[in-house]
Structure 1
Amino acid sequence: MTYGSATTAEHVTEYFEHIYKGRASRALIQDFENRYRLVGHSPLVEITESQASHLQELLGDAYVVRAGMRHSAPFIEDAVAECKAAGATSLIGVILSPQFSSFIMEGYRTAFIEAAAKHGLEEGDVVAEPWGTEPHFVELLAERTREALEKLNKKYGVSVPIIFTTHSLPKRVVEKDPSYLNQLEATIDAVRKRLDPGLLWYAGYQSAGHTPEEWLKPDLVDILADLHKQKTSAVLIVPIQFLADHLEVLYDLDIAAKKQCEEHGIAYHRIELPNTDPQFIEALASIVKKSEMQ
């Protein structure tokens, strides 16, 4: 299960209607339409469906694997209905966010449980717990970071710093559920143990929402400004929460953050996301098997 996405600029109004129920301003819609035009296309839905297909292949015929989105088709209920039609007798839901606040993710659980009940699959249903330190996932992040740093350190002749990024949340949400921050720290610690202990690293938040309330700090924008003051020549961005290419990466990082780097004279680089890497599919399989024992 994942959040969902508009595919192109033409789908933003419909997508926002599902999220905001008519409360999204025209200015916000136009802003995001422009972002989608700049990236051309968000492949989140296709990649998530491909992840499900690869997981199905790995798990075999004893399982039925489908992808469901919270705010765009195919919806979570569509996925549950397909599972039932394919012969499933119980369900395991995996939220495609390694670290999550139960407060924020309650919508996933609600959609999952209601869909299961509607299709007669409520008995024995499980939603996987946060899985930010799953070994296959952590090793994939570390491996991609090591490989990128080896090339960048050689290219620039210095030790290039990294910035671990994750999606920001309103501060009030974390005050209600501080476990989110603990999960982020656990993922970063697990990855760092597999990297050079002398590596210079930072951790920050990205993609803060369009609301006046206080969001988590430090923001990626602030970290890049500080690196500019330190005359940093290059940086490697390491997203630890995003699992497939989508707007928060293709625009927020590859366009907006890259532009800020250029303005600061910093060469922008980021690791590839997990997408359908076999090691990530192994991670998903491990999460499913572990959840069966809950």
Structure 2
Amino acid sequence: RHWSPWIEDVVGQMIEDDVTHAVGLVLAPHFSALSVAKYQQRVADGLDLYRGRIEFEHIPSYHDAPGLIEAFAARVAEGLSRWPDGERDRVHIIFTAHSLPERVLASGDPYGVQCLETAHLVAERAGLAEEGWSWSYQSAGRTPEPWAGPDLGEHLAELVARGIRDVVVVPVGFVSDHVEILFDIDVRARARADELGMRLERPPALNDDPVFIEALAELVRSRAA
């Protein structure tokens, strides 16, 4: 959608290559009309533009895929390992995902529910106590309408008020490094944490993690069989 090769052109090339069946997998784990659905629409636009017929099997979401949960749970453990054994009980885990306008979630979009389900599953797999983790949105758009919260910066202040000063941010809404991680968390959120007298750590994104890649492969195999 945002850079070449454009989805429509790739679909056109697939038609030229006589592809008849394909699996569509958007890397965003959680479905939303503002994200995954738009990618799927671009596939449909490509079929119309190039007058082709390919049977697409779209994977709408994979927010609860066992491999995804396993990979994120390992990231939680990696983040906690940055504190000595005797200090880890005081470290709080914050799971995050990109915010959406409140009107979208209020319309019945499953994004928010799926994000929270991912967080619960990862927390359970990582063995976190209920009070040992929390949820926050991040990277809200700069538009006049209200966006879903709590915002990460505001949530950090709430945690400080509760006496929590050591946190690990695990962005379960993202699977690879990009500006929402490298700037919004590593720069902006860390600066806010510094202002509040907190220590904020973020484990690496999943990127090419073998467990995560195998999870994606299994999703595709299950649809392509």
What TM-score does the superposition give when structure 2 sets the normalisation length? 0.90
2:33: which partner in 1? 102
Stretch deviating more after TM superposition (201-210 or 87-96): 87-96
Q: Give the one of 119, 123, 134 matched to 1:192.
A: 123
Matching residue's letter, 1:144: R
> Quick check: 2:157–2:196 contact (8 Å CA) kept in 1?
yes
Contact 2:30 2:61 in 1 (8 A): yes
- In structure 1, runs of 5+ residues without a counterpart are 1-69
The residue that corresponds to 1:57 in the other structure is none
CA contact (8 A) 1:90 1:123 kept: yes
Match of 1:239 among 171, 181, 187: 171
1:121 and 1:282 mapped to 2: Cα distance?
A: 31
> SS of the counterpart of 2:82?
helix
- Offset of residue 224 of structure 1: 0.3
% identical aligned pairs: 34
Q: 1:237 to 1:197 in 2, by over 3 A?
A: closer
SS of 2:95's partner is: strand
Task: Say whether the 8 Å CA contact 1:91–1:121 is kept in structure 2.
Answer: no
TM-score between both structures, scaled by the size of structure 1 = 0.70
Q: Aligned pair in 2 of structure 1 residues 119, 279: CA closer, same or farther (>3 Å)?
A: farther
Q: What letter is aligned with 1:271?
A: P
Alignment counterpart, residue 129 of structure 1, candidates 60, 67, 76: 60
1:139-154 → structure 2 map (5 Å cutoff): 139-154=70-85
Post-superposition offset of 1:279:
1.4
**Aligned equivalents of 1:202, 1:218: Cα separation in 2:** 10
Q: Which has the higher strand share?
A: 2
**Does the 8 A contact of 1:103 with 1:177 survive in 2?**
no
CA distance in 2, matches of 1:202, 1:273: 19
After TM superposition, give the deviation of residue 201 of structure 1 in Å.
0.5
Residue range with higher mean Cα deviation, 260-269 or 112-121: 112-121
| Aligned-pair CA distance for 1:153 | 4.8
Q: Give 3-state SS (helix, strand or coil) of 1:102's partner.
A: coil
* Mapped pair 1:262 → 2:190: no
1:164-183 per-position Cα deviation (integer Å, ceiling 9, x unaligned): 00000000011112422221
Instruction: State how far apart, in whole Å, the 1-side matches of 2:207 and 2:45 are.
Output: 28
- The change in CA–CA distance for 1:79 and 1:156 in structure 2 (over 3 A counts) is farther
* CA distance in 2: counterparts of 1:220 and 1:182, whole angstroms: 18
Match of 1:174 in 2: 105
Where does structure 1 differ by over 6 angstroms across 4 or more consecutive aligned residues?
none
- State the superposition RMSD in angstroms: 2.0
Q: Which runs of no fewer than 5 residues in structure 2 stay unpaired?
A: none
Q: What amino acid sits opposite 2:192 in the alignment?
A: Q
The corresponding residue for 1:287 is 219
